Structure 1
Amino acid sequence: MSRVRFDRHALTWRVATRSANGNCVEVARAGDEIAVRNSRHPDGEIIVYTRAEFAAFLDGAKKGEFDDLLD
């Protein structure tokens, strides 16, 4: 697995419109990969996923495959 080197402060971070009060994750494109961080800890750990990994997660989320985690 390759690791992209990037400046976390130069990334364009995005959050979902439903997110409020800092209860969200932020995502950003980091080269050919997708970076994810906790919005409450912007200088904390960043997890980086390949586009294929992130696409698989989004597909499952759109299909409701993780909805039970909120019960």
Structure 2
Amino acid sequence: MSESMPVAWHISTKSPDNGGNCVEAGPVLDGSGRVAVRDSKDRAAATLVYPADGWTAFVLGVKVGEFG
């Protein structure tokens, strides 16, 4: 992901100390609907970017317990 693309990063309120061992996710602010994800402990590492429909499918899967 290009450093020039701004992202509205969010850390889960369920994360210890609002950080710790978690990831940050947020919408890429370019109108594409994509969502970026990064490691909160290593923000300089790779950032993954998902298309809007892929992110929506993932979130719905989490909500229905598909992954655990």
Residue 47 of structure 1 aligns with an amino acid whose one-letter code is L
Structure 1 position 17 matched with structure 2 position 13: yes
Q: Where has structure 1 moved over 3 Å in runs of 4 or more? A: none
Q: CA deviation at 1:5?
A: 4.3
Identify unmatched segments of 5+ residues in structure 1.
Answer: none
Aligned residues: 63
Give the TM-score of the pair, scaled to structure 1. 0.76
CA-atom RMSD in angstroms: 1.8
> RCO (CA 8 Å, sep 6+): is it higher in 1 or 2?
2
Which residue does 2:40 correspond to in 1?
39
Match runs of 1:1-71 below 5 Å: 5-7=2-4, 10-20=6-16, 22-30=20-28, 31=30, 32=32, 33-67=34-68
